């Protein structure tokens, strides 16, 4: 899922989800997406351009999930979101992972990413400077300050 979201602003939430589910053999129903994102169910008839930034992010993730992927790549999924929306997205990401899907998150919000991760990689100028568990990363305060500004 790209950072820019790429939802179709002129279509409703329901139409965006339906369009995403047209080609996969095992596509989710829109109702399953609404179970995952109840906020979208409330706005199913709203056009994509009329949604808040957080709701657009939910819709973008729901569109990806409708396609029943085994691997999900999320680029900056928490950028600029209100804390409540961010918590909803973290809950969904945990649920997705519990269902057996792999999620690769590129995220500058270190605390949100560490709260989800089972494995962490820190890149600096294209080179891996850390590889390990979230606990190992949290335990190295000097490294966190030097490379992550935390």
The confidence score (pLDDT) of residue 133 equals 96
Residues 91 and 139 reside in one and the same domain: no
Query: What share of the chain in percent tops pLDDT 90?
Result: 51
Residue 86 lies inside a defined structural domain of this protein: yes
Instruction: Give the number of domains in the chain.
Output: 2
Residue 36 lies inside a defined structural domain of this protein: yes
Residue 102 lies inside a defined structural domain of this protein: yes
Residues 128 and 106 reside in one and the same domain: no
List strand residue ranges (DSSP E) for the chain, in order.
Answer: 71-75, 102-106, 120-124, 127-132
Can you give the CATH number for the domain in which 64 is found?
A: 3.40.50.300
Instruction: Give the length of the chain.
Output: 150
The confidence score (pLDDT) of residue 115 equals 87
Cα(96)–Cα(35) distance, integer angstroms: 13
Residue 7 lies inside a defined structural domain of this protein: no
Residues 85 and 19 reside in one and the same domain: yes
Structure tokens at 29: 């129903």
The confidence score (pLDDT) of residue 63 equals 93
Residue 44 lies inside a defined structural domain of this protein: yes
Residues 24 and 98 reside in one and the same domain: yes
Ranges of the chain whose pLDDT falls below 50: none
Q: What is the pTM of this model?
A: 0.81
The confidence score (pLDDT) of residue 149 equals 82
- Whole domain around residue 127: which residue ranges? 119-150
Residues 24 and 72 reside in one and the same domain: yes
């Amino acid at each position: 899922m790209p950072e820019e979201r790429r939802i179709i602003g002129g279509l409703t939430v329901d139409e965006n989800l339906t369009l995403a589910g047209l080609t996969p053999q095992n596509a989710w129903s829109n109702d399953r997406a609404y179970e995952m994102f109840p906020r979208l169910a409330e706005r199913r008839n709203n056009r994509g351009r009329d949604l808040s930034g957080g709701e657009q992010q939910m819709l973008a993730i729901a569109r990806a999930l409708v396609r029943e992927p085994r691997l999900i790549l999320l680029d900056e999924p928490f950028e600029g979101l209100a804390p409540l929306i961010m918590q909803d997205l973290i809950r969904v990401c945990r649920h997705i992972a519990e269902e057996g899907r792999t999620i690769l998150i590129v995220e500058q919000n270190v605390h949100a990413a560490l709260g989800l991760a089972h494995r962490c990689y820190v890149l600096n100028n294209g080179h891996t400077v850390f590889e390990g568990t979230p606990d190992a990363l949290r335990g190295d305060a000097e490294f966190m300050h030097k490379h992550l500004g935390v």
